[in-house]
Amino acid sequence: MIKILIASIFIILLFSCKSELNKNNSNLNEENDTIKIESIPDCAIPFAYRGYILIPCIVDSVKGNFILDTGADALHLDSIFFIANDFKYKTIKKIKLWGVGNNFQRGIEILDSVNFQFKNHNNITSNVLVSSLKPTGGDFIDGLIGLRNFKNKVLYVNYISEYLILYNSIDSIDVSSYNLIPLTKKNDKLFMPLKLKINDKITIQGNFWIDLGSNTSIISSTVAEKYNFDQTITRKVAYYTKYGGIGGYSSGFDFISDSVLISKLYLQNVPFSFSTDKSGAMASDEYIGIIGNNILNRFDLLLDLKNNNLYLKSNANYSIPFEFDNSGFFIVDRNKTLGGFIVTGLHKNSPAEKQGLQTDDKIIFVNNVSVKKMSYKSFNNLLMKEDNIKLIVLRDEKVVHIKFKMIPLIK
């Protein structure tokens, strides 16, 4: 599980599409994280949904998988992907990058032109950023793309069938079954109004940053302090992660909110977080918080960037009850580069933490099954179903056995 991820934005050309089906499009297979064949509209862009939207792309003739992220404003390459493929650029400079987390990350900025392509969309851009992304998102993440230059276009996201469609105008789409939510745009960020009922005593409403690069929804530490969440939310569990985002270490509390109201769309018992970061993106007073894919994936989504409107229509996920992850720890799949699943953070005082699991532990077996035979999704599905967990981890090249019984972390 990735607590949160915010990164960069890229230039993409958009055009309308037909409704014909083409069986040659492909998505990432749920069982082994390989490409699977699936019928989608002819000019749609296939993606794999793993808490974030992962799109097959080509950068200067090199294939990779890139997250669609509405959080910032440049094409962003992972440093391992960059080094392994021996990209050659003449003009680069060293930079500092800030995002979620309490610190900054050192990276580079490519000032030369970079060719970028996905499906039939060919683009040339510059000011491409390079930094370490795999520790936060896992080995299947080679970079990030965003929305700044989807100017005057409409982006359709279908979470259920896992594809995107790019339209020239909202006028070419039947939106009669959608709920319209006017957005506010500020500093290349898009904000949506939302009403969040925390509990019987606290309800907050206002602008939340739309972040397709996050698989969670979280309230800023500034707002949390204003409403004294540390005292007023009693049913919560603290978490910490070394890899919260670009800025590294991040912390906060997970809780289950009573309800979320978006226009006329109503969701109950929604897992939420509030940050305790002292700096970085989640310490900002510019917005109440971030709305991520754990909420947005319950809708078909139309993002009209010309008129700054969001259209939502409930999908097959809408009525499925939310589940809270009681494993007590967060992981990323680093099988390809490091040979296991890496622990990126934990819930404080969870059975996993009490039995000695630590950040940066490399999980190689879970319940006597090698993680090399597991996809990221099957690993998480196992944790959601099993009560008794047995982990074999490597820590400083030493084998450590950890056993614990999962219990509800929010009582």
List per-residue pLDDT tens for the chain, 411 residues long. 334 333 333 223 333 343 333 333 334 454 445 444 467 888 899 999 988 899 999 999 999 999 998 876 778 899 999 999 999 899 988 876 655 555 566 888 899 999 988 887 788 888 888 988 898 888 989 999 877 667 788 999 999 999 999 899 999 999 999 999 999 998 878 999 999 999 999 999 999 999 998 889 999 999 999 999 999 999 999 999 988 766 568 899 999 999 999 999 999 999 999 999 988 778 888 899 999 999 999 999 999 999 999 999 999 999 999 989 899 999 999 999 999 999 999 999 999 999 999 999 999 999 999 998 788 778 888 887 888 999 999 999 899 999 999 999 998
Q: What is the pLDDT of residue 103?
A: 59
Q: What is the pLDDT of residue 374?
A: 84
Question: pLDDT for 217-275, tens place per residue?
Answer: 999 999 999 999 999 999 999 999 988 766 568 899 999 999 999 999 999 999 999 99
Q: What would the CATH number be for the domain defined by 329-405?
A: 2.30.42.10
Q: Are 67 and 52 in contact (CB under 8 A)?
A: yes
d(CA 193, CA 204): 11
Closest Cα to residue 180, out of 164, 166, 193? 193
Please give the helix or strand (H or E) that residue 111 lies within, else none. none
Tell me whether domains 21-167 and 329-405 share a fold. no
d(CA 301, CA 291): 13
d(CA 196, CA 116): 39
Architecture in CATH of 21-167: Beta Barrel (2.40)
What φ, ψ does residue 368 adopt, rounded to 5°? 70, 15
Question: Residue 381's CB: how many other CB atoms inside 10 A?
Answer: 13
In 344-410, which ranges are continuous DSSP H helix? 351-354, 376-385
Homologous superfamily, domain 171-314:
Acid Proteases (2.40.70.10)
Q: Are 7 and 248 in contact (CB under 8 A)?
A: no
Q: What is the pLDDT of residue 1?
A: 39
Q: For residue 60, how many C-alpha atoms fall within 13 Å in the half-sphere facing its CB?
A: 16
Q: Are 236 and 218 in contact (CB under 8 A)?
A: no
d(CA 8, CA 72): 4
Q: What is the pLDDT of residue 105?
A: 67
Q: What is the pLDDT of residue 366?
A: 94
Query: Where are the chain's structural domains?
Result: 21-167, 171-314, 329-405
Is 343 exposed, middle or buried (CB count within 10 Å of its CB: 0-12, 13-18, 19+)? buried
pTM exceeds cut of 0.75: yes
Amino acid at site 160: I
